[in-house]
């Protein structure tokens, strides 16, 4: 047989049967490589397949495999590689389940009715909704639909019959036409009748649903069959749960309590009637169910079912006595009946399980009946209901227990979403701070006379008492001023404040209650001065005044695909005591313990939690959770005592442990770090788990007590990335990358977005303050998404220790740089994979070691309340109740880290904290090791002392802000911007109330203190990636720092409607001496005024030997100005002026190109020249002669220009997305200096003098700096045709070749008489959409003109002129830019307005070139020319009179376009 199998190709393992197992395994292992593939070379399986069986050998009880599945695959693959054959895949059966995960559904698929209907899509902008349906553009709603179809059929029948008759078709064709019309008529009428019948029936059902009950026989039929299957499972579940509870709550005089029999019978519960409420919200289902459980009623079952019926029966066995002298006594409960009316309210949601919350309540007290036989059992038992009054007493007790839980108006809430998520149902979602101030006008008297002694008891929905105040003796107007903190599991309930009269020797007397609905805290988390009536039996019994504040639990933040909890020092601790084992039983005479656990906090002698008692075991399992508020995580110590419960004797402590909370939070069941040793005993260990839930409380995240001063800044030069990951390849696009820099999961800086590029070049410098050598910066490359969240393309991590180190003893600098790090590191995309490289340069710049860089840390609300109670206790206001357990153990830390289950100590967990946790003072003590170690010096209290004047001598440094709070007109977060950054230096959390309490410490780097600017913005958006600015303040950084450096100051932020909001803050300043690069200085950015003077010796391009030249100026590839065309001139005199905002002179590519204008063909280039901006001094007029050249014709021609540079901060704009964009022209929002360009000689007065002007101007000096007033945003202009130079010598030097200009300043107001306003619509740029055919519409008064539409571009040029009548009564010019559509309504791209008389002044400048910023994105350029002598309305005297006497004319109601979007009468 062996030879036969070997001849078939099988490998046969033969060995000596008497050999030991080791030799047999070795023999099998040596022949493992001889196993051949079961697949033949032709790819077919031999027969039905071969089976390889392995012989498993047992060596010392362990199984030693000789071959694995991987080995078999390897041999098979090798065989296939040698033979060159590939095993064909098995044929796929249609409809079978896939073997792997189903592929992800692409984003562009439309799945489900919500996607098809576009319900979740953002609303379309004005003008875009026209693309939805072509009929909606030209036909009103009444002209299409069924009426349209019927009319079309009639027209079709008429024309078709006319056609058939006209061309002599036969009667048969007419019959076919009539049959077609008849079929359509019959079908349409059938549909109309069916729809009408359905609509009528549906409306009738809606009325009947709300007023009538309906039966649920189909549900009862299902329950009758399902109950027989489900009842045994339900009974087993109830017994398993209840039996464990009974065993732990057995009284001392009983030996045990057990459920020995439990069944609910064979008859299922019934739903007698159902009523539905149709008029509810779309996501709410509300029904009334009449339910009953009457197993003894046999009227509705068949005789066969009645013969096999089993009634409900519950037997509770009570064992009396101790030890051997015990006896069991059964208590029988049978013939249970129940009926009632229940209201069920379901709140639906989109994700599974699709029902979020189920609210259940009884509309009336249910009817409950039963037979209870405590003695005698089933045969001889006596029903206690026959005892007079006892049954009524039990029924009332049941109703009193269930009433506060689920009798109307109270509801029993089941959060199915939370239940199925694995989160405990009793977990707290936040903390409510209730400050009970006083009550007034209480109406109550003590029995026998006298004033009441009132106190307040606080509960949720009248359940167990959660807190109470002290009682105030003999008063009707008590004042408590006490603060209580209450953990809440839901905000869908009511807070009840019960007032009671304290009595010494009898039960306290209720005085009334006040109810507060907790859902109000979702709208405003801080409510002060609440006054609610105290009601009793519907009557007013007085008034109570209190404050309430809600602190929610912070949710984890997702960073790099991982969820991280915010690091806070105040929060909620959820401690779960699971079990103990090997407890020391030497203190018990019987050797069995009745253990329970008590939890103590700090040095408190009263426990905060007590577990249930587990009888007769040394290895108890409690599974007892508790939650409590922690005011200071770093210093908190928890003491856990295991106590042996004895009935009438003192309970001895079996063992105890004291541990720091920060150590307890390091427990990790995955690493077997949850067992802790007990002290004070010979043996024993306890298993614990602890969860930290941070609270959103003022100062919790970035408070003053947690702040560490910076040691310096990291100058991060993000240059470019190469070959980044493409996450949009499936849609045929490329990623839109940008880089964000995160420190401790907080974004501190971002670059611009480079659209559709896998090799982006950012070339941006970001400054990141650092506080420790152990910090690291995560540079994460992100892909911008317009609608969804941005996606990560990978990250690169930079450790501060790589570029910095501690310096030798130096009083000024504690750290020093190790040199710049200029690298190209691979981008880590997850796991061990990399894609692309990030090129950056990082350099550490140390900060001065300044002394006392800290703020006075205010106590949080919990600490304030705790200290207030301690002061009251010290004054003798209240005495503590001693604990029943022994407290001879001192509260010192007995264990620092957990142990393994085997009993060995696990190593202490590694932490990244830069500060060692030291417990002392309140509630903690140092360990011996820590006490012996030297105390670290506080760096904030060391260093050099600098006065304010000495600090301000350093231009570069870190400004530290302590944002305390404020009074806001809307709930918002505060964003702080410095200089030209378009990403905030830091942001606070969104305030939970309009009375904001932030206590947030943030910081930002300023490059040049004298020239810096600061913005304070209130952002209503809760998402840090979105902007919804509702108020703003801005001012000079130096003046702001001067005001806030030594004291707290308030600043008023105003919105567009003038509503004020105040913010209170203070600052500190840490200088960082550094040498700025030329591109980093304020002189590197600003506004250039360019005077295009003239051209000379230009190349001729026409046959006549002349040219029609015009000049085009470009900045970084974008057109910024186009001059007028000078016809037939080789030496044109343009004399035009424009302004351009340059974000960086060092890298600016500024050039001019002269073209020859042609009417029919494209303009020809006459030459190109580059303009140097680097060497121009600020505020000095510099003339340059630009040599023109072209590749084809060489150098030919010159252009003369004059440049004046005004340094100012060019802020890059953030649009309403999660990323950042930047226009090449930018927008100058801050003017540095107030020098007019027409100052003539002496225009250069020194940049230092300009920047050090009085911050407050000529106004009365206030305590805080003013926000510098500026002209309305979005408009800038310069006069045309009048120029000046800085000095006369310059004009003389260029007079021979180029004409010079002059300017005579004068002032005048708008004209009272109408004149002719010539408006030239020159161009627009940076429109929101690139693929458009834009045209412009201009309106002045009621007159409107429209330009021609051009080719597809985002920077159109029109150069079209229009004449309007203008006077002082017509102050504005309205402008709209549309995208021309051949079919359909034109789309509005942008709009804007121009204040005419702001730019035109009669007698001064009658012509001006205006640049206006458009709403919707982009800039428009116009030329205004006003002729006061030419009155276009002179021929119509009546019209002129009307123009003078009335308000500005509105748009004509006969206008073709009618009113424009955003146009009103005031305009």
**pLDDT for 609-624, tens place per residue?**
998 888 888 888 888 8
- Pairs from 87-90 (Cβ < 8 Å, separation ≥ 24): 87/39, 87/43, 88/43
CA distance 1179 to 635: 59
Residue 1357 tokens read as 């040029």
pLDDT tens for each residue of 331-379: 888 888 889 999 999 988 877 778 888 999 999 999 988 888 887 666 6
pLDDT band at 134 (very low <50, low <70, confident <90, very high): low
Question: Residue 936 CB: number of other CB atoms within 10 A?
Answer: 9
Q: Is 861 helix (H, G, I), strand (E, B) or coil?
A: helix
Largest CA distance in the chain: 134
Of 32-36, 108-112, 1287-1291, 1350-1354, the one with minimum mean pLDDT is 1287-1291
User: To the nearest whole number, what is the mean pLDDT of the chain?
Assistant: 75
Among 122-126, 183-187, 763-767, name the one with the lowest average pLDDT. Answer: 122-126
CA distance 1439 to 65: 107
Determine the Cα–Cα distance for residues 20 and 59; give it in Å rounded to an integer.
Answer: 10
Task: Report, as an integer, the average pLDDT of 71-83.
Answer: 43
Cβ burial, residue 16 (10 Å; 0-12/13-18/19+): exposed
Question: How would you classify the pairing of strands 1315-1325 and 1419-1427?
Answer: antiparallel
| Residue 1079 backbone phi and psi in degrees, to 5 | -75, -15
Which of 449, 454, 436, 448 has its CA nearest to residue 541? 454
Strand residue runs (E) in 125-249: none
Token pair, residue 1328, equals: 């929101």
| pLDDT class of 143 with cuts at 50, 70, 90 | low
Can you read off the two tokens belonging to residue 1459?
Answer: 């009113």
Q: What is the dihedral of CA 127, 131, 136, 137, to 10 degrees?
A: 60
Name the residue with higher pLDDT: 949 or 1273: 949
Which H, E and C letters describe 321-387, residue by residue? EECCEEEEEEEEEEEEEEEEEEEEEEEECCCCCCEEEEEEEECCCCEEEEEEECCCHHHHCCCHHHC
Q: If you search the block for the tokens 């809430």, which residue do you land on?
A: 413
| Integer CA distances (angstroms), 299 to 214, 302, 607, 1250, in order | 21, 8, 57, 101
pLDDT given for residue 146 in this prediction: 63
Q: Per-residue pLDDT for 738 more than 80?
A: yes
Round to whole Å and give the CA distance between 1406 and 1426: 5
Specify the 3-state DSSP secondary structure of 596.
strand
Give me 263's structure tokens.
Answer: 């069944």
Between 1398 and 841, residue with greater pLDDT: 841
| pLDDT confidence of residue 138 | 57
- Residue 1294 pLDDT more than 70? no
- Asked whether the predicted pLDDT for residue 1333 surpasses 90, the reply is no
By mean pLDDT, which of 515-519, 1154-1158, 1268-1272 is the weakest? Answer: 1268-1272
- β-strands 804-806, 815-817 pairing: antiparallel
CA nearest to 1138, candidates 1152, 1156, 1154: 1152
Q: What length is written for the chain?
A: 1467
Q: Cα separation of 292 and 267, whole Å?
A: 11
Which structure tokens are listed for 127? 């003008």
Contacts for 364 with CB less than 8 Å, ≥ 6 apart = 340, 341, 408
Query: What's the Cα-to-Cα distance from 1415 to each of 318, 335, 1322, rounded to whole Å?
Result: 82, 77, 18
pLDDT in tens, 1163-1190: 888 898 999 888 888 888 888 898 998 8
Packed helices 146-166 and 171-211: angle between N→C axes, nearest 10 degrees: 170
Encoded tokens for 1455:
């206008």
pLDDT 10s digits, 421-439: 666 767 888 899 999 999 9
Q: Using alpha carbons only, how large is the chain's radius of gyration in Å?
A: 43
Least confident of 86-90, 107-111, 655-659: 86-90
The pLDDT, as a whole number, for residue 826 is 92
Strand segments, DSSP code E, in 118-269 are: 254-263
818 or 1453, which is more confident: 818
What is the model's pLDDT at position 868?
63
**Higher confidence at residue 28 or residue 789?**
789
pLDDT for res 1207? 81
| Residue 903 scores a pLDDT above 50 | yes
Task: Kindly state the tokens that stand for 1136.
Answer: 């035009």
Paired residues of 1088 in beta bridges? 1140, 1205
The CA distance from 1375 to 1339, in Å, is 7
> Which of the two residues, 884 and 1079, has the higher pLDDT score?
1079
Beta bridge partners of 1319: 1362, 1424
Q: In the chain, what percentage of residues exceed pLDDT 70? A: 71
The phi, psi pair for 1335, rounded to 5°, reads -140, 160
CA atoms of 974 and 1061, how far apart (whole Å): 11
pTM: 0.52
DSSP string over 452-486: --EEEEEEETT-SEEEE----SS-SS-EEEEEEEE
Report how far apart, in Å, the C-alpha atoms of 1426 and of each of 208, 446, 1100, 1301, 1342 are.
Answer: 74, 90, 34, 20, 18
For 335-361, b/e burial (b = at least 16 CB within 10 A) is bbbebbbbbebbbeeeeeeebbbbbbb
CA distances from 733 to 726, 756, 757, 919, 1330 (A): 8, 7, 9, 57, 17
Q: How would you write 676-744 as a 3-class SS string? A: EECECCCCCEEEEEEEEEEECCCCCCCCHHHCCCCCEEEEEEEEEEECCCCCCHHHCCCCCEEEEEEEC
* 933-955: pLDDT as tens digits: 333 445 545 678 888 888 888 88
Question: Are the C-beta atoms of residues 372 and 333 closer than 8 Å to each other?
Answer: yes
What backbone torsions phi and psi does residue 348 show, to the nearest 5 degrees? -90, 160
d(CA 859, CA 509): 37
pLDDT at 5: 52
C-alpha angle 1362-1365-1371 in degrees, rounded to nearest 5: 105
pLDDT given for residue 41 in this prediction: 40
Give me the percent of the chain exceeding a pLDDT of 90. 12
Per-residue pLDDT of 211-253, as tens digits, reads 678 888 888 889 888 998 888 888 888 888 787 777 767 776 7
b (16+ CB within 10 A) / e for 169-191: eeeeeeeebeeeeeeeeeeeeee
């Amino acid at each position: 047989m062996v030879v036969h199998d070997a001849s078939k190709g099988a490998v046969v393992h033969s060995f000596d049967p008497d050999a030991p197992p080791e030799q047999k395994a070795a023999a099998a292992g040596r022949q493992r490589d001889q196993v051949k593939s079961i697949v033949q070379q032709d790819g077919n399986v031999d027969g039905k397949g071969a089976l390889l069986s392995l012989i498993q050998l047992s060596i010392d009880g362990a199984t030693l495999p000789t071959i694995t599945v991987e080995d078999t695959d390897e041999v098979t693959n090798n065989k296939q590689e040698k033979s060159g054959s590939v095993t064909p895949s098995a044929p796929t059966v249609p409809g079978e389940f896939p073997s792997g995960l189903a592929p992800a559904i692409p984003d562009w698929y439309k799945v489900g009715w919500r996607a098809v209907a576009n319900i979740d899509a953002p609303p379309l902008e004005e003008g875009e909704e026209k693309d939805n349906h072509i009929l909606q553009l030209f036909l009103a709603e009444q002209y299409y639909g069924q009426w349209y179809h019927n009319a079309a059929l009639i027209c079709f029948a008429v024309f078709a019959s006319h056609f058939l008759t006209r061309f002599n078709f036969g009667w048969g064709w007419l019959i076919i036409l009539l049959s077609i019309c008849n079929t359509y008529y019959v079908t349409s009428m059938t549909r109309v009748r069916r729809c009408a019948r359905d609509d009528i029936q549906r409306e009738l059902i809606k009325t009947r649903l709300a007023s009538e009950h309906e039966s649920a026989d189909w549900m009862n039929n299902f329950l009758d069959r399902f109950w027989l299957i489900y009842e045994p499972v339900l009974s087993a579940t109830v017994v398993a749960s209840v039996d464990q509870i009974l065993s732990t709550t057995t009284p001392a005089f009983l030996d045990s309590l057990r459920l020995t029999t439990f069944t609910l019978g064979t008859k299922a519960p019934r739903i007698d009637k159902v009523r539905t409420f149709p008029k509810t919200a779309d996501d709410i289902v509300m029904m009334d169910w009449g339910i009953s459980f009457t197993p003894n009623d046999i009227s509705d079952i068949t005789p066969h079912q009645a013969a096999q019926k089993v009634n409900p029966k519950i037997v509770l066995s009570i064992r009396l006595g101790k030890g051997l002298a015990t006896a069991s006594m059964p208590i029988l409960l049978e013939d249970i009946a129940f009926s009632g009316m229940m209201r069920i309210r379901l709140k639906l949601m989109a994700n599974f399980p699709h029902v979020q919350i189920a609210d259940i309540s009884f509309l009336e007290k249910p009817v409950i009946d039963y037979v209870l036989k405590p003695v005698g059992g089933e045969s001889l038992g006596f029903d206690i209901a026959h005892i007079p009054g006892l049954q009524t007493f039990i029924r009332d007790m049941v109703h009193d227990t269930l009433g506060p839980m689920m009798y109307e108006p109270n509801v029993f809430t089941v959060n199915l979403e939370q239940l199925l998520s694995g989160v405990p149902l009793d977990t707290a979602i936040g903390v409510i701070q209730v400050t009970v101030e006083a009550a007034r006008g209480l109406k109550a008297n003590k029995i026998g006379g006298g004033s009441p002694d009132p106190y307040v008891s606080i509960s949720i929905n009248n359940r167990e008492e959660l807190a109470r105040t002290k009682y105030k003796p003999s008063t009707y107007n008590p004042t408590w001023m006490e603060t209580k903190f209450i953990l809440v599991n839901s905000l869908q309930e009511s807070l009840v404040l019960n007032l009671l009269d304290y009595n010494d020797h009898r039960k306290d007397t209720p005085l009334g209650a006040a109810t507060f609905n907790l859902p109000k805290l979702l709208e405003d988390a801080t409510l002060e001065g609440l006054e609610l009536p105290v009601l009793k039996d519907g009557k007013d019994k007085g008034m109570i005044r209190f404050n309430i504040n809600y602190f929610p639990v912070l949710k984890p933040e997702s960073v790099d695909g991982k969820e991280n909890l915010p690091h806070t020092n105040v929060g909620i601790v959820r401690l779960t005591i699971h079990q103990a084992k090997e407890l020391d039983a030497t203190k018990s005479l019987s050797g069995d313990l009745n253990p329970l656990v008590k939890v103590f906090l700090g040095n408190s002698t009263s426990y905060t939690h007590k577990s249930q008692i587990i009888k007769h075991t040394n290895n108890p399992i409690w599974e007892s959770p508790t939650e409590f508020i922690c005011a200071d995580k770093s210093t908190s110590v928890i003491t856990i005592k295991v106590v042996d419960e004895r009935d009438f004797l003192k309970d001895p402590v079996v063992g105890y442990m004291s541990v720091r909370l920060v150590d307890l939070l390091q427990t990790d069941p995955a690493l077997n770090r949850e067992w802790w040793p007990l002290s004070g005993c010979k043996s024993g260990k306890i298993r614990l788990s602890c969860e930290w839930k941070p609270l959103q409380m003022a100062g919790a995240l970035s408070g003053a007590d947690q702040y560490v001063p910076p040691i310096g800044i990291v100058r991060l030069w993000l240059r470019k990335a190469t070959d980044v990951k493409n996450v949009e390849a499936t849609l045929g696009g490329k990623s839109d990358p940008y880089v964000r820099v995160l420190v401790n999961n907080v974004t501190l800086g971002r670059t611009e977005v480079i659209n559709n590029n896998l090799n982006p070049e950012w070339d941006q410098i970001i400054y990141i303050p650092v506080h420790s050598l152990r910090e690291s910066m995560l540079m994460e490359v992100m892909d911008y998404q317009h609608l969804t969240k941005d996606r990560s393309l990978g990250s690169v991590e930079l450790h501060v220790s790589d570029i910095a180190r501690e310096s030798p003893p130096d009083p000024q600098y504690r750290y020093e740089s190790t040199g710049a790090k200029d690298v190209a590191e691979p981008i880590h995309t997850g796991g061990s994979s990399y894609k692309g490289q990030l090129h950056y340069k990082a350099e550490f710049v140390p900060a001065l070691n300044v002394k006392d860089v800290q703020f006075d840390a205010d106590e949080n609300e919990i600490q304030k309340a705790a200290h207030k109670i301690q002061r009251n206790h010290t004054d003798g206001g209240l005495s503590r109740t001693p604990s029943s357990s022994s407290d001879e153990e001192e509260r010192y830390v007995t264990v620092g880290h957990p142990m393994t289950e085997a009993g060995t100590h696990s190593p202490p967990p590694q932490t990244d904290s830069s500060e060692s946790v030291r417990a002392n003072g309140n509630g903690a003590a140092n360990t011996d090791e820590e006490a012996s170690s030297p105390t670290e010096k506080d760096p904030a209290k060391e260093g050099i002392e600098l006065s304010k004047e000495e600090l301000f001598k350093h231009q570069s440094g870190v400004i530290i802000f302590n944002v305390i709070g404020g009074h806001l007109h809307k709930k918002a977060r505060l964003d702080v911007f410095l200089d030209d950054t378009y990403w905030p230096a830091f942001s606070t959390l969104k305030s939970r109330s309009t009375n904001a309490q932030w206590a947030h410490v943030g910081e930002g780097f300023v490059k040049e203190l004298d020239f810096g600017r600061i913005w304070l913005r209130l952002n209503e958006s809760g998402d840090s990636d979105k902007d919804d600015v509702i108020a703003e303040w801005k001012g000079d950084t130096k003046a702001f720092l001067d005001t806030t450096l030594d004291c707290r100051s308030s600043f008023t932020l105003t919105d567009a409607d003038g509503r004020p909001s105040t913010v209170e803050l203070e600052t500190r300043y840490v200088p960082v001496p550094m040498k700025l690069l030329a591109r980093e200085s304020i002189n590197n950015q600003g506004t250039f005024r360019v005077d295009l003077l003239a051209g000379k010796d230009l190349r001729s391009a026409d046959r006549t030997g002349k040219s029609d030249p015009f000049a085009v100026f470009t900045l970084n590839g974008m057109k910024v100005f186009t001059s007028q065309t000078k016809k037939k001139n080789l030496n044109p005199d343009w004399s035009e002026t424009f302004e351009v905002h340059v974000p960086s002179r060092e890298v600016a590519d500024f050039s001019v190109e002269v073209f020859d204008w042609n009417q029919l063909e494209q303009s020809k280039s006459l030459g190109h020249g580059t303009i140097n901006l680097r060497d121009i001094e600020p505020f000095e007029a510099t003339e340059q002669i630009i040599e023109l050249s072209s590749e084809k014709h060489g150098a030919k021609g010159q252009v003369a220009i004059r440049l004046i540079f005004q340094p100012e901060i060019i802020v890059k704009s953030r649009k309403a997305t999660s990323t950042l964009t930047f226009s090449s022209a930018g927008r100058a929002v801050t003017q540095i200096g107030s020098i007019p360009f027409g100052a003539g000689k002496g225009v250069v007065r020194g940049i230092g003098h300009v920047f050090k002007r009085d911050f407050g101007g000529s106004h009365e000096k206030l305590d805080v700096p003013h926000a510098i007033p500026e002209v309305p945003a979005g408009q800038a202009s310069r006069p045309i045709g009048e120029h000046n130079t800085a000095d006369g010598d310059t004009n003389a030097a260029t007079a021979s070749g180029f004409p010079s200009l002059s300017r005579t300043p004068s002032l005048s107001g708008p004209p009272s008489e109408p004149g002719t306003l010539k408006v030239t619509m020159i161009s627009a740029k940076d429109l929101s959409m690139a693929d458009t055919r834009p045209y412009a519409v201009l309106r002045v008064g009621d007159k409107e003109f429209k330009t021609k539409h051009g080719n597809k571009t985002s920077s159109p040029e029109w150069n079209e002129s229009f004449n309007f009548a203008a006077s002082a009564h017509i102050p504005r010019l309205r402008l709209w830019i549309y995208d021309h559509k051949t079919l359909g309504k034109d789309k509005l791209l942008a709009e804007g307005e121009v204040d005419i008389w702001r730019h035109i002044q009669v007698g001064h400048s009658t012509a001006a070139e205006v640049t206006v910023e458009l709403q919707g994105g982009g800039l428009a350029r116009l030329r205004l020319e006003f002729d006061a002598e030419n009155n276009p309305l002179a021929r119509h005297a009546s019209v002129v009179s009307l123009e003078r006497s009335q308000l500005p004319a509105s748009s004509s109601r006969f206008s073709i376009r009618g009113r424009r979007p955003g146009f009103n009468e005031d305009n």
